[in-house]
Structures are given as C-alpha cells and as structure tokens.
A and B are shown apart, each in its own frame.
Chain A
Amino acid sequence: MNQPNQATMSALIYQRRRWTDRLMTLLTTLAVLVAVVPLFGILIYVLIQGASVINWDFFSKLPTPVGEPGGGMLNALVGSTILVVLAAAIGLPIGLFSAIYLAEYGHGRLATAIRFVTEVLNGVPSIVVGIFAYAIVVRPLHHFSALAGGIALGLMMIPTVTRTAEEMIRMVPNSLREAGLALGLPRWRVIVSIVLPTAANGIITGIMLAIARISGETAPLLFTALNNSFLSVNLLQPVSSLPVQIYTYATTPYEELHRMAWGAAFVLVMIVLVVNMVTRLLTRSGYHMHR
C-alpha cells in the first residue's frame, strides 16, 4: 500500500462521515419540530379562542338558554369532578392491587394471562368501553347516570394504573425486600411499609397521568353519563362533563356556544397541564431509584 493514497482515502471517509452526521442531526431536529409544533399550536390556539370567555361566571353559573347572554359551565365542571372521583374510586384500588399482585406474587401462568388481558384492555377503543358500561349499567337501570360514566372511565383507568404501578414496584431493588424479610417482617409488612413507599413517587405519577387522561375522554360518556344542562350531584342521574359539553356545543350552529366550547376546551387543557406539572414538581424531589 502506498501511504499518500491511504491518507486521501481516510480524508474522504471522514468527510463523508461528517456530512452524514450533519444530515442526521438535521433530520432528527426536524422530527422534533414536527412533533412539538402541533402541540404548541393546540395550546396557543385553544388559549386564543378560549381564554376570552373565561370569567367568574364561567365557573359559577349554569348554562343559559341559547340567545341569552352570560351563563357558565358549572354543571360540566361539577359533573366532570364527580365522574373522575367515581372513576378513581373504581380504577385505583383495582389497578393498584393488581399491580401489587403482578409485581410481588405473579410469577406463574395466571400472572402472564392477567398481564396479557391488561394489555388488551389498554388497547380497547374507549367507545367500546362505553358500550360495555351501557350494557351492564344503563340498560339494567333504564337510564343514563353518572354511575355508568364513572364505571366506564374507571375501567379505562385500570390498565394504565396497573401497568405503571407494576413497573414502579418492580423497580424497587430486591435488596430492600430482603432487608425487611431478614429482619423477620412478614411479607405484607415488607410490601406495605417498605416497597410501596419506595415506589410511591412513580406510582403517584402514573395515577395522575391516568386521571389526566380519563378526564378528557368523551366517547365512553356519550351513552353513559350523557349530559345534563342542570346541576346534578345524583349518581343515578345523567351528569354533564367538560368533554361532552364541548362536543355538544361544538356541534350546534350557534357562535356563542362555540365560544363556550372553546372556553371549556381551554379549561380542560389547563387542568391536564396543571396536573402534569404539579405531579412532576411533587415527585421530582425525594428518592430516585438507582441500583
């Protein structure tokens, strides 16, 4: 081999590598922009359209008949709160206990089956969950109700909570379980007092994200909780909710109601945003799991 030729060769190779590097950096940056622009687009658009209708009345008054100025979203806010609380009351315990079972005791075929079913449930379209709730709650009771909506949303929470909580519990180093067991503590005590507190940050994040997700669900509520123009706290009566109210108003021909829908969308986005940020803040400090 003659030396000068080899030198030119490697110079060429390095030049090509440099260009490939630049091209790939450019492509990945573009991909990030494409991903982020719509997100900020939505936020800004909703802010522009919705922020102007937000005032105290919006949170404290019931909707007025079409044509009459003023009115608010109190019914939808209260309804959404009821639905989310109901969903959490159903979804959290089932999800958490399943996660504990899967992470701490589940080794056999049953656990594999449960994990598979959870994954499938996670992928079930929300409208199908709504139909299911319709069939098991609305039909037997003969009318739409907050209870049916809460059950539908609760069912949707279960897989999310189960999967995130299981992951978090699994991340707790085994050495901590052994430390507890070697002290002569029973298994349940080790789980309740050592494993769960150690995994708490991650579990809480998972729960908050699940709640943020279901609070924007519309489809499963359409034929379960339905809607209600009046304030209702009766679990066996239909209730309004922010997403359904947005859907209802947006599909009317009235400009005024469109603006109310934008306002509701703004509130919904803010709730999700605030829940996410507060969760991040709360769970940022404290114990970070490392092996």
Chain B
Amino acid sequence: MSSLPASIDSVRTARPVTVRSDSARKATALTDSTGEKEAVAGAASTALATQQERVDGLPSALRTVDLRAWYGSTEALHGITLPFPERRVTAIIGPSGCGKSTLLRCLNRMHELSPGGRVAGQVLLGEEDVYGPDVDPVEMRRHVGMVFQRPNPFPTMSIFDNVAAALRWTGMRGRAAVAQRVEEALRMAALWDEVKDRLHENALGLSGGQQQRLCIARALAVEPRILLMDEPASALDPISTGHVEELIQQLKQKYTIIIVTHNMQQAARVSDYTVFMLLGELVEFAPTEKLFTTPSDPRSEAYITGRFG
C-alpha cells in the first residue's frame, strides 16, 4: 500500500466491501497472468485507484464497477473497475480488439443493442447505476452523449435540423428556444461561424471535419453530462483532427469527456487521464503524463514504446 501514487485521494472510500474484494480478486488475477513482480504493484495500485470515488480530489462523473460485457458467448470485457473524473478528458487506449469501444458503448447502454450484446456489473452515473432495474435506457442516454468514429449526420436533414431534431423530439417547444439552443450548440462545437449563413442547407454538403463537429453539436444540444467519443478523429484529415482536438480542450470546462483512440499521440495531447486496456482487461489507469512517462505496468510500457500493438 505504500506504493500508492501520491496523486490518489484515499479520503473517501465509500464503496462497499464487495467492491474491494472485486478489486483484490482482479489484482490477483492480473498477478497470476503476468507473474511479474512489478506488475503486482502496478495492478494493485490501479485496482485501488480505480475504486476511488475521487481521483486527485476530483469527483468521478461516471464509474464502472466490475463491468463485464459479452458478444454472444465471448466475453469482451473481464471486469473493469474505473473512475472517470469530472470535467476531465479520459482517454482509453489499447490495441485493436482490446475492448475499448465495447467499454465505451457499455457506458451509455449502446452495447446491449449489438447482436448478442450482454452486460453485467455496474456503471454509476453519479450515485445511480445505469443498469439498475428502474432505469430507462432511452432516458438515460440523454445524459450521456456519444460521437461516433465516422461522422453520421442525418442525411435527409439540414444543418439546423440535425441539431434541432433531437431537441424537438425530446419535448422542447418554441421556435425561438430551439433556435437559441441550436446556436449555442453550434458555437460550442466551434462550427457556428462556418455554417451560420447556410443553416438550412443539407448537412451532407459539409466537409468531413465539419460534419463531425456538427455531430458533436447535435450531441451537446440535448445537454448531456458526459460526452463519449469513439475515435472521433480517425476518419478526418490532420487539420480537421486539430479542430476536433482543440474543441475537446474547450468542452472539458463543461463536460466530462471519455475518448477512445488508437492514436497514442492524440491520447497524450488531449487527455488528462489515460486508461490502457489489453484483451478486455484494464491494465493501467493513471494521469496521462504518468502513464506516458513512467507507466507502472510493464505491458503499458511495452505498448507505449511500440513494442507491440
């Protein structure tokens, strides 16, 4: 326990005992699978860090507790316990197929819509388990927005309607109110100046990067608390990628952002915390700078230095 990084705030450990034992079990499992001494310390500190409600004194906007996910009979996530600090950017990295997108899709209950998708464990949004029996996934998704890998504006709608549609359908009334919210969302997505004169043109007339920012505006318009981004820049050119990354920096003042990326430089540039995953397991969760300079787990180091993946 003395090997705990100083950054972890252990004042509040309100999680019940079961979670501790889960973490402990995971720590042992990791030890068994790696058999390396350093890994024990790394896994143990990760396990402890991830059961905290607060990280660096920050409350967690979202936490997962022993989250497991399946595609049919294949288990894709093997018990992930993680905090996502509020108003910070957390990046999830790892090689293809490590479960990072699955993890993201579990957070807003999109995974269960995939064929054979099944989830166990908890995702706590504030104090509420989004997989709880009384939770309506449709209602819940309004609080957790999502931006996808490829820009997916609604093709039959104008730029304005792409943002306004969800507002109207979720019960917002009044043209002026809707128009105002659309403008706010487009401004937040740093798109307003580029589209304000062509709001009623088809959204497909925008460039790929603009379309992606439109999708971000669309997600922001319904005022979520958390924004999930699944490789949001992987289909974009470097300049558009730069725009999106700048945008992420601005958005974190208001939103908790969780971004999946296969681009380690991007993770290093935009995120405050980084999660490294491998084969459906959580390997390491740490402040980005620490993970990229002095990773605790030898596997993180191997991945970051490009020895595999």
- Give the size range of A's interface with the partner: 20 to 34
Q: Are B169 and A193 in contact (CB-based, < 8 A)?
A: yes
- Name 21 A/B residue pairs within 8 A (Cβ), A-sorted: A178-B110, A179-B148, A179-B153, A179-B154, A179-B215, A179-B218, A180-B154, A180-B166, A181-B113, A181-B141, A182-B108, A182-B141, A182-B146, A183-B145, A183-B219, A184-B141, A184-B142, A184-B143, A185-B170, A198-B154, A287-B202
**Which chain B residues lie closer than 8 Å to A180 at the CB level?**
154, 166
Chain A residues lying within 8 Å of B166, measured Cβ to Cβ, are 180, 183-185
Q: Does B150 contact A (CB under 8 A)?
A: yes
The answer on a CB contact under 8 Å between A183 and B156 is: no
Task: Considering the complex, give the chain A residue whose CB is closest to the CB of B145.
Answer: A182
Known contacts: A175-B150, A179-B152, A198-B155. The answer to whether A184 contacts B204 by CB under 8 A is no
Whether a CB of chain B sits under 8 angstroms from the CB of A197 is yes
Query: In the complex, given contacts A183-B170, A184-B222, what are 12 additional A-B residue pairs having Cβ atoms less than 8 angstroms apart?
Result: A175-B148, A179-B215, A181-B110, A181-B138, A182-B141, A183-B219, A184-B138, A185-B166, A194-B154, A197-B156, A200-B156, A286-B156
B residues near A (Cβ < 8 Å) are 108, 110, 113, 115, 138-143, 145-146, 148, 150, 152-156, 165-166, 169-170, 202, 204, 215, 218-219, 222
- Residues A176 and B170 in contact in the complex (CB < 8 Å), given A182-B108, A184-B141, A287-B204: no
* Chain A residues within an 8 Å CB radius of B146: 178, 182
The dominant DSSP class at the A interface is: helix
> Is the beta-carbon distance between A183 and B142 smaller than 8 angstroms?
yes
Q: Are A189 and B169 closer than 8 Å at their CB atoms? A: yes
User: Is A175 in contact with B139, judged by CB distance below 8 angstroms?
Assistant: no
Contact B148 A185 (CB under 8 A): no
With A182-B110, A182-B146, A287-B204 known as contacts, the answer to whether A175 contacts B152 (CB < 8 A) is yes
Any B CB within 8 A of the CB of A4: no
> In the complex, A149→B148 CA distance in Å?
51
What is the bound-complex CA distance between A127 and B153, given in angstroms? 47
